[in-house]
Structure 1
């Protein structure tokens, strides 16, 4: 991921403490909580730049999070956010989270600007793009999916994931951070994965609504069988989690050690 252009006046920089709801039973900052922080710092930066009223609605298409070192309970975290790529209707935004006492999380998310009336992608204003481009030279960002859905017939496991009323956001869809709660469920009995640097990516295809019968299809690809994920991953295990409602793919996640 793009390194922090630091010092830089257009990198949004803010601190706040970790709370009890942010951490798991061991005191580690959870992926779903980190995602909420990533969303919140985005709202704060939007307000700081003066575009909260003109560009209020965004949806995320992909979020990639590298947990380099766990951040622990009662720490004060520093969040830095900046743009790493732009186009007319979407952008890549980097967020780095550091704990004062140690710990680091790197992230990059592909955000799409949404029109309030049509609920479709909308052009970002020229003055907003000019502000975003102060930290990047990438001005023709294109979408390209990294992940492919897994099938039921060769899955390691398929399990239901009930959608709750509290999971639904202002778009009337399951909020982005809830997808990361699925990741935490998967990691619950795998302390060896969070004991070393870990990359988790989630790509969203279609929204999940209240009342949907969401299921998670799990696949495990051992080292030596993972060349389809890239030649640099052939020596490690890759896990994929496919979020489906019936036969309709809603999202796909991947996990592997860095």
Structure 2
């Protein structure tokens, strides 16, 4: 597939739960091998969007194409192209780290599950802890193991739905390094987060989802142009992503 073709293309996506309209016509594209951050407050519709893209939920209207496959018409092909990691690590605490990976590798019927486990443990800095029960792992280690397990089969696209929720600052930095390595290796990452510093640190492109709509979509440099730089003691200071987010969401909330 042409590298210039977007890994993900979303157009006019709508979803309602009874009388509540969660997505009101969402549009965005994600370039291959990039980190795309879908930024928004709780209830903005981030997880709903990811669930539709991962074929776990059907949209009421609009189209979504993932790795060249329509999520509604070619759901199985989409599932073969992606991996999804949610807000809480889906690991078995009784098993060791290595046993967790081997179990998933066998379920996915990949060859040489032991070799795959050893390679992933090494890649994510978990070799020394491979023989320990996951119940003894720190939050950051569990999240790294969870992401490692999601990469079995080398999916070209990975969805990370608020992957650092509940982690302490040190563990968050551990996960950030893992995400950066994924993109460096050519994996396309769609990251949902409510942490502004996370999007600012990781994303090649940022979309702000507010009240069911994308209200801004661009690089951090492009978003910074939306607000004038502050001048303090004759030194120009660029606005932070937090300042941009609050200014834009505040304006939309008043309209």
Bigger Rg over Cα: 2
TM-score bracket, normalised by the shorter chain, equals under 0.3
TM-score with structure 1 setting the length: 0.26
TM-score with structure 2 setting the length: 0.27
